[in-house]
């Protein structure tokens, strides 16, 4: 049990129900329409999954006003999903993304951890844009 994952983070804290992001998981192609912006609470979040386990790619989008921010649903410290219930990614103030596993808090606009056990670490961004009211995957994932 426990060991180093490909990106150097330890899997020692991963619970049995969690499937870490597979290196073979493929993100959605640029131009993929995820949903309508109006389908996401303001502020709020929505999770999206692509593919099937064990190669599933899970991400989420946070809405703040007319803006949308996309991230891989994987805590950089705990290697666990950030949401504590379906589509619940924000802290009680609804101004920060909060990890359900250990309470780390990340800025919505850039995914930077500003509180908790991983200060300075960042969520992995999945570029998205709002086009004609729809949230669309933008080019640049992994760049």
> Which one-letter DSSP state was computed for residue 93?
T
pLDDT at 67: 98
What spatial distance separates the first Cα and last Cα of the chain, rounded to whole Å?
32
pLDDT at 24: 76
How far is 102 from 37, CA to CA, in rounded Å? Answer: 29
What are the φ and ψ backbone dihedral angles of 69, each rounded to 5 degrees?
A: -130, 125
The highest-level CATH class for domain 33-137 is mainly beta
How far is 85 from 88, CA to CA, in rounded Å? Answer: 5
Which carries the bigger pLDDT value, residue 138 or residue 26? Answer: 138
Residue 52's CB: how many other CB atoms inside 10 A? Answer: 7
pLDDT tens, residue by residue, 66-119: 999 999 999 998 888 999 899 999 999 999 999 999 899 999 999 999 999 999
Q: What CA–CA distances, in Å, run from 81 to 65, 84, 99?
A: 24, 8, 7
Q: How confident is the model at residue 21 (pLDDT cuts 50, 70, 90)?
A: low
Task: Please say if the pLDDT value at position 122 is more than 50.
Answer: yes
Hey, where are the domains in the chain? Answer: 33-137
């Amino acid at each position: 049990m426990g060991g180093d994952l490909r990106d150097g983070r330890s899997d020692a804290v991963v619970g049995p129900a969690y499937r870490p992001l597979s290196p073979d998981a493929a993100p959605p192609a640029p131009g993929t329409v995820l949903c309508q912006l109006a389908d996401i609470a303001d502020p709020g979040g929505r999770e999206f999954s692509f593919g099937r386990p064990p190669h599933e790619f899970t991400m989420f989008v946070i809405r703040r006003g007319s803006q949308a921010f996309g991230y891989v649903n994987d805590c950089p410290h705990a290697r666990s999903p950030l949401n504590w219930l379906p589509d619940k990614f924000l802290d009680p103030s609804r101004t920060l993304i909060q990890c359900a596993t250990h309470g780390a808090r990340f800025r919505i606009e850039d995914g930077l951890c500003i509180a908790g056990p991983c200060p300075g670490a960042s969520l992995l961004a999945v570029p998205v844009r709002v086009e004609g009211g729809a949230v669309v995957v933008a080019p640049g994932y992994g760049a």
